[in-house]
Amino acid sequence: MKVLFEDNHTIAVVKEPNIPVMPDISGDECLMDIIKAYLKKKYNKPGEVFLGLVHRLDRPTGGVMIFAKTSKGASRLSEQIRSGKMDKVYLAVVEGYLEKESGSMETYLLKDRDLNKSKSVPIDTAGAKKAVLDYNVLKQKNGLSLVEIHLITGRHHQIRVQFSQMGNPVLGDAKYGAKKKVHNLALWSRRLTFYKPVGNEPVTIKADPDYCSEPWSLIS
């Protein structure tokens, strides 16, 4: 686990792909337990360590995540997410070449909890949530596109669904129609900008994927 930023109320780390954020049915060690063990050892804390989960990444997705070390931090970071104040930028490699080098996507998504999958639905569908993102194509090579994505909303599987709907599924995402098989899903949380829970100072945390490893090496 790589720590990118830490203060009294927050800790930002790099989540490696295929590590669950929280405990799941696999029984694999999760990121929250790894961070709690780190904090317990670093600060010699007795008993249970508090760690607030304020946002999520899918298990196959890697990149920057921020957690709260205090209840005050959890409350204020969660409010930043609800209000859209926390800025999130992702990288993805998608199959095919996009028609436009930059653009926006706005759809309504409905989550199927039984299938752990979301789909695009008409605006008046019960339970549907508005999903918005902006994107910019950084590179095209080998029938693939490297895309930087500014996530305006944070819906379940949003990036994966919206690019699949456009005919450009995320590389390695068989659940949403990707054809080419690779070792990991080509989706990465690249940058987070948030405001410190105390002092309201803006902080930007950034980490890039390993461009020498698959799937990123296929377009580097």
The burial of 199, by beta-carbon neighbours within 10 Å (0-12 exposed, 13-18 middle, 19 or more buried), is given as exposed
Q: How far apart are CA 148 and CA 79, in angstroms?
A: 25
- Looking at residue 133, its amino acid is L
| Radius of gyration for the alpha carbons in the chain, expressed in angstroms and rounded | 18
CA atoms within 13 A on the CB side of 203: 21
Q: How far apart are CA 75 and CA 155, in angstroms?
A: 20
Q: How far apart are CA 40 and CA 72, in angstroms?
A: 19
Q: Taking the C-alpha atoms of 128, 151, 104 and 200 in order, what is their torsion angle to the nearest 10 degrees? A: 110
Q: Are 16 and 62 in contact (CB under 8 A)?
A: yes
Number of CB atoms found within 10 A of residue 169's CB = 24
Q: How far apart are CA 49 and CA 71, in angstroms?
A: 12
Residue in the block written with tokens 């899903």: 185
Q: How far apart are CA 142 and CA 123, in angstroms?
A: 36
The residues that are catalytic are 58
